[in-house]
Structure formats: structure tokens, C-alpha cells
Amino acid sequence: MNSIQGIGMTSRRTRERMIDRLIDQGITSHKILDAMRNVPRHLFMDDALASRAYEDTSLPIGHGQTISQPYIVAKMTELLVDQRHLKNVLEIGTGCGYHTAVLAQLVEHVNTVERIYPLHKQAKDRLWGLEIRNVSYLHNDGGCGWPEKALFDGILVAAAPSEIPEKLLEQLAVGGILLIPIGKERGMQELQRVIRTESGYDIERLEPVSFVPFMSGKG
Ligand code: SAH
């Protein structure tokens, strides 16, 4: 066995342990567990941190940002996708692109927006290298959504504003789901699920979460 195969086997084993942990934490969707089994999370971070890639924790990705904890990626994906077939999804906060890569396996098309240019560029190159082709990338403030690509049947936000940006509500299709952490202070936020109905929006308050702040403007 050469060293690359050795690394590959270690990561497969630790990735499998991550999947077992997600099952223990209550993630039941096989589709989602399979998607997370397929995406090599260690390729989404610096070599120095790669050995910790399958721990259930968020880790730094540079520029003061973090890759989300596997449990939260799984939970948000489960809440968004559930049994539905999603055609056109918007993700705000590409970061390192890990969650984008998971989503790309479960929905027809992902549109992802990141305000920090180096993160946007690196994620785009990385997913291209992994031969993931059903993703469009935009460097912009996600508070504007992505009007040219709207409407979306799912919107997922990976940074926490103090209130739901109006443009995201406007760009949600009827029947579509928006998942967003709300609250400025880290550790004091809650995940909210918004469903657009014919006549308005149903807002459901879900579990407490901890996300980086949603920032205005391009970085
Ligand atoms: N989805 C990532 C998590 C990235 S952390 C993962 O798979 O791990 C959240 C990201 O949201 C950061 O990269 C941050 O720069 C970005 N962000 C914060 N505010 C934003 C905004 N207004 N528009 C777009 N991206 C934003």
C-alpha cells in the first residue's frame, strides 16, 4: 500500500465513523447519509487540519470563517430536502464549498453565493476538481439573493443575520423552504424554517444553533 492509498483508507474509515455518529444524533435519511459518505470532507480544509476533518465540530477555513459542523450540515439538508425533489436551490455562504458539494448530489442545481472572494474562488476550483458540475457560483453579498436565478424551491443560509433578508423571501417560490439561522450573537441564535404559501409565509422556530455572522457587502 502506498501512502496515498493509506491516507485514503484512513479517511474512509473516519468518514464512516462520522456517518455512524450522525445516525446516533438522529439523522435518518439514507439519501443524505450517502451524500455525506461520498464527499471527502478532508479535501475542503488546510492539510494541517485535514486529520480532524471528520470530527463533529466546525473548523477554521481562513478569513475568520468556519466549515460547518457535520451534524448541522446533515440536519439543515434533511430539513430542506426531506422527501422532496428540489430543482433550483440557493445557498448563501459558500465558504469552503463542503455543504455545496453535499447539496449538489441531492438537488438538480445549486446556486451558491459567497461575499469573500478567495473563498468563492477556492470553492469553485475545488468543486470543479471533484467533477461537480451542477453548481453556479457568485461572488456577492447574499443579502441580495440571486435575482437572475430566482425563483428557488429551497434557500439555505449558512451565516446568521438578525432578521430574514427581504430579498430572500421574495425569491422563494410558493411551496419553497428557506432555512436560516437568526440572531446576531454566536450561541444565541435559532434556526428558522420559512415556507412560502399562496398567501404569505409560515415561520417555524427550530433548534438553537451557532453560526458566523451574516455580513453586508462584498469582502
Ligand atoms: N457552507 C459552509 C459554511 C461557511 S461559513 C460550509 O460548508 O461549511 C459561512 C459563510 O458565509 C462564510 O464563508 C461567510 O463569508 C459567508 N457569508 C457571511 N455573510 C454573507 C453574505 N451576506 N453573503 C454571502 N456570504 C456570506
pLDDT tens digit string along 173-200? Answer: 999 999 999 998 877 899 999 999 999 9
pLDDT at 134: 98
pLDDT at 83: 82
The residue nearest atom 17 of ligand 1, judged by CA position, is: 93
Q: Is 215 in the pocket of ligand 1 (CB under 6 A)?
A: yes
Catalytic residue selected from 68, 136, 199, 210: 68
Q: How far apart are CA 17 and CA 36, in angstroms?
A: 12
Closest CA to 179 of 162, 158, 200, 165: 158
pLDDT at 13: 86
Which CATH class name applies to 9-209? alpha beta
Q: Is 81 in the pocket of ligand 1 (CB under 6 A)?
A: no
Does residue 18 contact residue 56 with C-beta atoms inside 8 Å? yes
pLDDT tens digits along 160-178: 999 999 999 999 999 999 9
Please state, rounded to an integer, the average pLDDT across all residues of the chain. Answer: 93
pLDDT at 10: 64
Question: Measured from the CA of 93, which atom of ligand 1 is nearest?
Answer: 11
Grid coordinates belonging to 83:
422527501
Q: In the chain, what percentage of residues exceed pLDDT 70? A: 95
Q: How far apart are CA 123 and CA 104, in angstroms?
A: 13
Number of Cβ within a 10 Å radius of residue 205: 10
Q: How far apart are CA 140 and CA 214, in angstroms?
A: 12
- DSSP 8-state class, residue 171: T
Query: How would you classify the pairing of strands 189-196 and 201-209?
Result: antiparallel
Identify the band that residue 2 occupies on the pLDDT scale cut at 50, 70 and 90: very low
Helix (H, G, I), strand (E, B) or coil at 87: coil
Q: Is 161 in the pocket of ligand 1 (CB under 6 A)?
A: no
The question of whether 51 is a catalytic residue gets the answer no
184 CA to middle of ligand 1, Å? 14
Q: Is 99 in the pocket of ligand 1 (CB under 6 A)?
A: yes
Number of Cβ within a 10 Å radius of residue 46: 11
Q: How far apart are CA 153 and CA 155, in angstroms?
A: 7
Q: Is 77 in the pocket of ligand 1 (CB under 6 A)?
A: no
What are the structural domain ranges in the chain? 9-209
pLDDT tens digits along 115-147: 999 999 999 999 999 999 999 999 999 999 999
The residue nearest atom 4 of ligand 1, judged by CA position, is: 95
Q: Which of 114, 144, 164 to mutate to test the pocket of ligand 1 (most atoms within 8 A of CB)?
A: 114
Ranges of H-type helices in the chain? 3-24, 30-38, 47-50, 70-81, 98-104, 117-129, 166-170
Asked if the peptide bond before residue 151 counts as cis, ω within 30 degrees of 0, the response is yes
